């Protein structure tokens, strides 16, 4: 189970409580070892993702991914990524489709608004596969290393439009 944190900085340590929180959101959480590939190594070393690297990474990891999704791509964010400061995934939003991420390298933090309004953040790292159900209010930010490479899976709504909710995030901002 990935690490779950509350806005006051406390970490959920009891497995039963962590499972209850994940279940209350309807999240799918799994662990798998990402396939090693030269392309992934190039992306991490060069802090740059090319279309060819993306194709090779997807091909190497496809057997680990749910077959029920229409499409997939790879994204990579690093310190110095052009436009990183203007990306809008760090605001509360929902999607009309499930959001599925398989973390290949680095880490990221998904935040969630729980039923009842409380909030939690879940640190995901290499090997974590997370499915966020459609309509779940959430956000995403980079972890302390400010690096993440992940596969993004698409279902019936591959444009990934975010519907921003305006909910204030109770966690400290970066």
Query: What are the angstrom distances between the C-alpha of 149 and each of 11, 60, 130?
Result: 25, 14, 14
Cβ 61 vs Cβ 35: under 8 Å: yes
- Taking only the tens place, the pLDDT of each residue in 54-103 is 999 999 998 888 777 777 889 999 988 887 777 768 899 998 888 899 99
CATH of the structural domain 27-164, one choice from 2.60.120.10, 1.10.357.10, 1.20.1050.10, 2.130.10.10? 2.60.120.10
- Taking only the tens place, the pLDDT of each residue in 7-16 is 999 999 999 9
Full-model pTM = 0.90
């Amino acid at each position: 189970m990935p690490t779950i944190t509350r806005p006051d900085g406390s970490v959920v340590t009891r497995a039963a409580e962590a499972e209850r929180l994940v279940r209350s959101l309807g999240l799918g959480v799994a662990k798998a070892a990402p396939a090693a590939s030269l392309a992934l190594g190039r992306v991490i070393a060069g802090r740059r993702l090319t279309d060819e690297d993306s194709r090779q990474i997807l091909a190497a990891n496809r057997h680990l991914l749910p077959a029920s999704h229409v499409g997939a791509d790879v994204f990579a964010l690093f310190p110095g990524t052009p436009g990183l400061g203007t990306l809008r995934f760090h605001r509360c939003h929902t999607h009309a489709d499930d959001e599925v991420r398989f973390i290949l390298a680095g880490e990221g933090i998904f935040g969630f608004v729980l039923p009842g309004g409380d909030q939690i953040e879940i640190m995901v790292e290499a090997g974590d596969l997370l499915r966020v159900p459609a309509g779940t209010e959430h956000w995403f930010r980079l972890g302390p290393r400010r690096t993440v490479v992940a596969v993004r899976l698409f279902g019936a709504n591959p444009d990934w439009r975010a519907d921003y909710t305006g909910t204030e995030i109770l966690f400290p901002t970066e």
